[in-house]
Structure 1
Amino acid sequence: MIKLLFTGVLLQVLCSFATQKVKTTLYYESLCPGCHEFIKDQLVPTWKNMSDYMLVELVPYGNAQRNYSGGHWHFKCQHGVLECEENLIHACAVDLLQSRETNKLLNFINCMVFHSDLELHKKTSWCIKNAEIPERKIIACVGGPKAESLILSMAEKTESVTPDWLGVPTVQINGVYNPNEQEEIVDNLKSIICKYLGNPQPDICNQV
């Protein structure tokens, strides 16, 4: 009886540990060099090594501004019209993939970042194929009635971050923005994920 009780408790602990995940929310804009570096050097590599312990949310909007006129929302992006177009492409990919296929989403975003010097539509087409995403669904989203509401939702999420942040990339951990952690997050996301996982730590946290 004692042995069975111990086994049951152990299984509960192991199951709890196995399902514990740290939510990482990245607020960024598609043509920001610092955002590119964070995605390539921190977010994607950390996800590849620690996907069992992470939930990733992407919010492509950044320092854009919005105004309402003529019955529609209009957006002005820090790096110009092309950034607004690419933010929308990213938002459509997020809407299509984030809740179900984070691997594909991050492969697509990483590809877009890696090929940032290519013409927008050329790199988008290439990265869609590379990530094996249904191209027709992205095209339908970008050119469809949902586009405006998608970017508006990204704007509202970004504007809701408190305390006020100074720029991108900005990262929330488990829904909380801590200004004092931003430098470490940008330099060593893995250490922050491990910190929030607590104990017992997965083996990956003890690897250099």
Structure 2
Amino acid sequence: MSASMKLSGLLFVVFLICNDRWTFGMSHPKPACRYPPSQWCRSLEIAVECKVQKQCMELNAVKPNQTVAPVSFSLYYESLCPDCRVFITQQLFPTWVMLQDIMSLTLVPYGNAKEVLSANSPFICQHGAPECRGNMIEACMIHLVGNSLAFHIIYCMESSTDVLNAAQPCLQVYAPSVSWSSVESCVNGRLGYQLMHANAVMTRALNPAHTHVPWVTFDGEYTKENEAKAMSSLFHLVCELYKGVKPPACTGASVQLSGSFCSP
């Protein structure tokens, strides 16, 4: 397990448990330091400030062999598609948190949308204009903050009761250094259109052509067998497809970490 994986998983879980004021959609956790959880193990200085240096050192000691190519996973989806939201929140995000050291992730928010020749509304989405905006917000997030950190934000959005209204607070939690105005500028400007057009091109280039969403590919290829396995247990499929030495999460091997507790 990598530092960033554990940081997203165990450290952030401990962070949420310790802060009993967290209630999604109503309040937000008070950060333990000025960095979001996804950056706690990025450098020694940050780890020291956030008081997780020992955990980060332990986690870095169990990294898998980086010379073996990770499993390349791509998800083609729509921001308001119920089945996509279930897959992201119940399969993809938990798997990625545990196995991100052995998998590379590409998110393509577009799905069953259509690109049309219209200055006012260049895209038509299956679930209406709100979904087009949601797709573009998530595409802009990926562009502005990077794929890894953006996935935390997207998971936060997709797991909420109101995907669009969750976007700004989710951004503030996971990427406080990125202004909401920069996201709006992207969504409302030419950049947002360019990003969505690129997603449209990627989606149209799928071979075989997608017939539904979520649509998943591994190493650029789609098979019904892998799709069925991914829908039932993506975690086990990624472990199965990885050609290197399996990380402890895949094998069930225990990793001894120092215990920590929240005291009243």
**Which TM-score tier does this pair reach, normalised by the shorter chain?**
0.7 to 0.9
1:114-133 counterparts in 2 under 5 A? 114-115=159-160, 117-118=161-162, 120=164, 122-133=165-176
Q: 2:193 aligns with which of 148, 159, 165?
A: 148
Is 2:133 the partner of 1:85? yes
1:24–1:174 Cα contact (<8 Å) kept: yes
1:1-208 counterparts in 2 under 5 A? 17-20=65-68, 21-69=70-118, 74-99=122-147, 102=148, 104-115=149-160, 117-118=161-162, 120=164, 122-133=165-176, 134=178, 135-207=180-252
Check 1:76–1:188 CA distance in 2 against 1; reply closer, same or farther (3 A cut). same
In 2, Cα distance between equivalents of 1:46 and 1:185: 10
Query: Residue 3 of structure 1 aligns with which residue?
Result: none
RMSD across aligned positions (CA): 2.1
Q: 5+ residue gaps in structure 1?
A: 1-14
2:88–2:155 Cα contact (<8 Å) kept: yes
Q: For 1:129, give the aligned amino acid.
A: Q
**Alignment partner of 1:68: what SS?**
coil
Q: Tell me the TM-score normalised to structure 1 length.
A: 0.83
| Cα distance, 1:98 vs structure 2 | 3.1
In 2, Cα distance between equivalents of 1:77 and 1:176: 25
Q: Which has the larger displacement, 38-47 or 173-182?
A: 173-182
Q: For 1:203, give the aligned amino acid.
A: P
**Alignment partner of 1:177: what SS?**
coil
Where has structure 1 moved over 4 Å in runs of 4 or more?
none
Q: 5+ residue gaps in structure 2?
A: 1-62, 254-264
Q: Which has the higher contact order (CA 8 A, sep 6+)?
A: 1
Q: For 1:90, give the aligned amino acid.
A: E
Q: Normalized per residue, which structure has more strand?
A: 1
| Cα distance, 1:73 vs structure 2 | 7.3
Q: For 2:95, give the aligned amino acid.
A: T
2:139–2:196 Cα contact (<8 Å) kept: yes
1:62–1:158 Cα contact (<8 Å) kept: yes
In 2, Cα distance between equivalents of 1:204 and 1:31: 31
Q: Tell me the TM-score normalised to structure 2 length.
A: 0.66
